[in-house]
Structure 1
Amino acid sequence: MSVLYPRLLPGESDRLFAELHRLGPGEHKKMVAGHSSRAVYAATGGRRVTRDELDDLRHAVLAAAQAQGFPEPPGSARRNAFDQQTARILHEQSLMVPGEAAQRQVWSFLALVLLPDICVWRWPANDDGQYLADRFKGLDLTRHALARLWTRAHVLHEPEAPEPYSLLSVLGEADLDQIMARRGSIAASPALVRAVVRGHRDAERSGDGGATARAVLRESLVRLLRLTAFLDVDSLSESETDHLARMIRLEARMSLT
């Protein structure tokens, strides 16, 4: 049975997002709660998440943050490590189905009620003291502090692999974002995303013949973007998709070297 999460009403999301700006560094733990009187649930489709399950989810994500130095500001390597571990936690432990994970208000609740101190640590205010609304309010789930991690884990999950979440550690934030941001083309096919990431992993083991791995990846994405305009990738088998990604990567590497 799927698990239903609280959905924060838009007015309450706006209020709590404004509260982020009123509190100073280190004070956002005051906002942490396991419930909100301004949250609602879907009427049907599963059972409601329990308070204990929400507490367990918070403790798991908090432990991942503490392992990367929370509450001290993290460097890029620590941010990547936190993202990879938290993506797995959210996907494994939340028991969300894609339909529930597609609800913006669910992620508003998680970022502004259950985990605001950790999201502020991961995505601090800019030089003007402003937090990005996309990271907290779920306006764009591909940019949300937590929703984007669940999506990555869901897309890259390989249930039959010895380590089902190993693909999460192949690419850094910037490179993986280059793939996931193309949600109308490449990222629309989870099988193609996995094939691209597997191809990158295997190429790094053997080397890319003088071109940087990042340059080859980005040239591959440009070529795939053109190809998916007229090719139905979802009609291919997994082995055919892997072969396609490898061939496109080979062409990209040859064009660069």
Structure 2
Amino acid sequence: MIVQLFPRLDRLAVDALLAIRADDKACPEPILDADSYPIETRYAASGGSPIRHDILVDLRARLVEIAAGCGFPDRGSASDRARFDEQVSAFLAERDELDGGEALRDDVWAFLACVLLPDLVVWRFADRPAERFHGGVRNTFQRLWMRGRILDRGAVEDRWELLGALTEDALVQITERPSIGNDARLSRALAEGWLRASRQLGRSVMEDAMREAVIRLRLRNQVQLLAELDDRDLEVTIDTFFAQAPTAAGPERRSWTDRLLGRAK
């Protein structure tokens, strides 16, 4: 099998391109002609062959189609953009071209955001923060690919439920912490624990509960490798982290187990 090498754009090239566009208030146009790619565009020197241009064009077309179903090019609502994130996460996770090492490179996602899909970036994030163009966990599309890869339940009916069920804050807590996001099994276990807790308590209290559960998870993982637990023990451990998290501030603080049992403190 021949590895398909994606175009790459390093941080300096991204900064230069963003500087050129800084005073341009119009929506940036994608560059679909390979001969017009930025001069800084590079491919890996060896290990495969450059990806066919028609595959990149198709990738863009499919993403634009998803965006159009979510209101693009009109701004739409926050729920429209959340739906876009959910659908794109599943779509990118299933693309064969992104199933290898190329998708692990920040500079690949920087190229996609800056050259192939800049109009979708600006639509999704109207204030145009540079981090949404640069490669990394906050890149517009890289973050969605990561979510799809680590929260994929596999061949089940509700395969992508976690992508739509979790809040943006919960997803960020998982994917932007390497100690969690780099371990797909641990990430899924935490997401499933969030879902169980939210069904008991309601989503309104889950932001604080998730933050404290993540702190407890990271501390425990320093002394006990949670990835070594079997599925049931890992589930119980994650539920314990959420059970210890307070759901109210000040003198009214109670754990969610107290709330479930109706105990006042």
Scaled to the shorter chain, the TM-score interval is 0.7 to 0.9
Give the equivalent residue in structure 1 for 2:63: 61
Match of 1:242 among 235, 238, 245: 235
Residues 3-152 of structure 1 aligned to structure 2 (within 5 Å): 3-26=4-27, 28-29=28-29, 31-35=30-34, 36=37, 37-93=39-95, 95-97=97-99, 99-125=101-127, 131-138=128-135, 141-152=136-147
- How many angstroms does 1:49 deviate by? 1.9
Give the equivalent residue in structure 2 for 1:128: none
State the SS of the aligned residue for 1:162.
Answer: coil
2:157 maps to a residue whose letter is: P
**Greater radius of gyration (CA):** 2
Give the equivalent residue in structure 1 for 2:205: 212
Give the equivalent residue in structure 2 for 1:192: 186
Structure-2 change in CA distance of 1:67 and 1:211 (3 Å): closer
Return the alpha-carbon distance in structure 1 between the equivalents of residues 12 and 215 of structure 2: 40
Q: Does the 8 A contact of 1:90 with 1:149 survive in 2?
A: yes
Return the alpha-carbon distance in structure 2 between the equivalents of residues 20 and 86 of structure 1: 26
Give the equivalent residue in structure 1 for 2:255: 255
- How many angstroms does 1:14 deviate by? 2.9
Q: Does the 8 A contact of 2:169 with 2:207 survive in 1?
A: no
1:42 maps to a residue whose letter is: A
Give the equivalent residue in structure 1 for 2:221: 228
2:192 maps to a residue whose letter is: R
- How many angstroms does 1:162 deviate by? 2.7
Quote the sequence identity (%): 32
Deviates more, 1:168-177 or 1:105-114: 168-177
Query: TM-score of the superposition, structure 1-length normalised?
Result: 0.85
- How many angstroms does 1:94 deviate by? 5.4
1:176 maps to a residue whose letter is: L
Unaligned runs of 5+ in 1: 126-130
- How many angstroms does 1:34 deviate by? 4.8
1:32 maps to a residue whose letter is: I
Q: Does the 8 A contact of 2:32 with 2:57 survive in 1?
A: no
State the SS of the aligned residue for 1:40.
Answer: coil
1:162 correspondence with 2:178 = no
**Aligned-residue RMSD, C-alpha:** 2.4
State the SS of the aligned residue for 2:143.
Answer: helix
Match of 1:153 among 145, 148, 152: 148
State the SS of the aligned residue for 1:61.
Answer: helix
Return the alpha-carbon distance in structure 2 between the equivalents of residues 53 and 69 of structure 1: 24
Return the alpha-carbon distance in structure 2 between the equivalents of residues 8 and 191 of structure 1: 31
2:138 maps to a residue whose letter is: R
Return the alpha-carbon distance in structure 1 between the equivalents of residues 171 and 207 of structure 2: 11
State the SS of the aligned residue for 1:24.
Answer: coil
Return the alpha-carbon distance in structure 1 between the equivalents of residues 48 and 243 of structure 2: 46
Q: Deviations over 1:178-216 (max 9, x none)?
A: 222222x333322111011112223333x2289823332
- How many angstroms does 1:239 deviate by? 3.2
Query: TM-score of the superposition, structure 2-length normalised?
Result: 0.82
- How many angstroms does 1:119 deviate by? 0.5
